[in-house]
Structures are given as structure tokens and as C-alpha cells.
Structure 1
């Protein structure tokens, strides 16, 4: 059973069937898709050094724009302690330049949430909550976050957090999954955001 079935329980069956297929990982094979980001935004220029540093750990990047091609690959893995993991690789193509927004997720059964280590190597950890809407869409919200310094993890006060809201929904008319990601800080406001869609050819 995938970590997403575990976190959602009976709610998993309320997802749109295409989203169920996307998150089931029933045969253990990676999910691979490609699409276009209609818009990629970043926060104020004062954050530019952080975005540039983020390229070193495949987390953030300074580029932004419209109609950016991208690919997404979700790969099931087994971690060192035997827990099921899902590796997320999101690659954005700015001309010949590739940028990444990667993560490694696993299921915390004691706290009933998804653990999300962002970047490679990961400088940031976030608890994730998964919610299914009445229309079968999937909403993901980040909760408590920690700064990761090697084996040491330091809880971050909310004032220093970048809280993310992710929505995925299936569009019948276009036969695509539409995705939006919005990351904000209580003081600065927008840090990073994108919205786009990817086709389902590799799911059939």
C-alpha cells in the first residue's frame, strides 16, 4: 500500500480515479509525466541569494517565467530503516538550463502525516497534511518545519517558515492533471509559486 493510501485511508477512494491511479503506485513502478508550467513566480529580489543557493541542493532557483516545460518523476523506494519512501524529482527547463525542486517523502504512522525532506541534500523538513476535496481534488498543506543541518534538525518558528499549499485536480476536458503550488512566509509573503498541467500518457 502506498504511503498516500495510508495517510488518506478511506478518503483515498474519494479522489478522482485519475488521481487515485497517480498516487497508488500499485505495481511499484515510477510515475513519470511531462507538461508545462503556465507561470513560475518567485518572491522579492532580497531573496535572490537564497534562491541561488537553493540550486546547489535542488530545492529553489532564481529563474521565473511563463510556459516553462517540465517533467515530474515519482519513484517508490525503500529507505535504510525499511520504510516506504517516494522520491519526487521535478525538473524545469529554462532553455538549456535545468532547475529542480526535489523531495523525499515517507509516512509517519504515529503522527499520521507525511514526512517531507526537501532538496538534495535536504536543508529543510516539513510535516505534510493531505486533504481530499468534495470534488475529488487533492490538497497538500505544509505544517511544522525544521532546519536540517546534517543529523541535527532545528524546529523553525513560524515567522521563518515557508508554508506551502499544493493542489492537484484532474481536468476532464483536457485530460490533464492541473497543479498549483504556493509557498509563503508570514512576513515576506510570496516566496515561490507555480501553476501548470501535465498529461497522463505515461499513466495509461
Structure 2
């Protein structure tokens, strides 16, 4: 059984660094979860005057106004079949600021009709992004949104999200860089840092109870 990332990358998948193949090759049949822990070197973006408008995004674990450096970070990936039997991977990200814990959650699936990876963003999943994926010469994974849709299928194609990961042998960890840019407001969110990853048995107790997004 191929993972959703293996499907999206095709034969390129085998050119990923072996540690990234382990992470992005997980399927629901393996009954494993990914736990990542690290620090974001920097989190920045969004003009200060616009940040108060992010309250809805904060509640939905989609956007947040806090910015900083050397921010503790955790990531949980769960691979499961959703209510329609589709292979799904949840991304549960937590950023630990001095006075708040903020989330950025999503659930990724492979769309057989579109032949691409689709990320359902936020706890609600009402914002969706179609991603192109490719493997870099260094064995890293680069993903960039090629179409974005808001509630009711509203087009948000001006907004672009790029994600880049590569494995650093000396650190024994993955370097992560995520950037979301709006055509008017500029960078909505950018974070980058180093994440150490381990694989743990997935039990009934740690499976997300509503699909992704709790």
C-alpha cells in the first residue's frame, strides 16, 4: 500500500532522503504516529495592523498573530481512514509562545480525480489547498500550493503556501520552512526551524476523535 505522498510523488518518492521516506511513507496499515519536537528559529509575517483580524483563524487553528524567535514546537501526524474510507494524514502543530499556545492544523488526502495532494486547513477544513510536490536534488521535499479554495469553493488562488523539508545528518533532525503569502498583505505566516522526529505506536487513545482536527 502506497502512502498519499508516495502517490503524489510517483517514482520521485524513492529519491527522498531515507528518513523522509519513513515519515512520508506512513500508511494507516502500519499503526504508527509521528511525534516531532523542536524549536522554530523564527516565526514572522503579517503587518501588525492586520493581526487583530486573525481571531477566527486562531479559533480554527489556522492563523495566529503571535511572532517570535526560538519558539518551542511540537508536531503530531496520525494516519487513518476517514469516514469515507480515504487515507488521511493529520498535521497537528503547536507553537509554545510565552503567553499562549497556538495551533496550525490540517488534514491531507490524495485526490484521485485531480491526481494531486489536497490539504484541508484548520480544524474545520473549510480552506483547501491543492499542492504540487517534487523532490529536490538533496533529497528534500518541496510542496507548493497551485490552487486554494475557501468556504463554498471560493477561489483563493492569489494566496500561495510553500513547504520545504530536508534532513540534516549532523543534527539528526529535519529542517522545516513554511511560508504563506497573500497578494495584498504579503507574508501571512512564515516559520522555520529544526524538528526531531520519532515514531510511536498509534493506539485507540491517541487517534484524533473527529478525524483531524482536535
TM-score (norm 2): 0.87
What's the Cα RMSD here?
A: 1.5
Correspondences of 1:1-204 after superposition (within 5 Å)? 1-26=2-27, 27-95=30-98, 97-148=100-151, 152-156=152-156, 158=157, 161-200=158-197, 202-203=198-199
TM-score (norm 1): 0.91
What is the aligned residue count? 197
Query: What does the per-residue CA deviation read over 1:77-120, in whole Å, with 9 as the maximum and x for residues that have no partner?
Result: 21121110011100011135210000011001222111111001
Whether the 8 Å CA contact 1:162–1:191 is kept in 2: the answer is no
Tell me which of the two structures has the higher relative contact order, counting C-alpha pairs closer than 8 angstroms and 6 or more residues apart. 2
Whether the 8 Å CA contact 1:15–1:138 is kept in 2: the answer is yes
Moved more, 111-120 or 40-49: 40-49
Residue ranges of structure 1 left out of the alignment (5+ in a row): none
Using the TM superposition, give the Cα deviation of residue 203 of structure 1 relative to its aligned residue in structure 2, in angstroms: 3.9
DSSP-derived class of the 1:55 partner: helix
Residue ranges of structure 2 left out of the alignment (5+ in a row): 201-214
Where in structure 1 do 4 or more consecutive aligned residues deviate above 4 Å? none
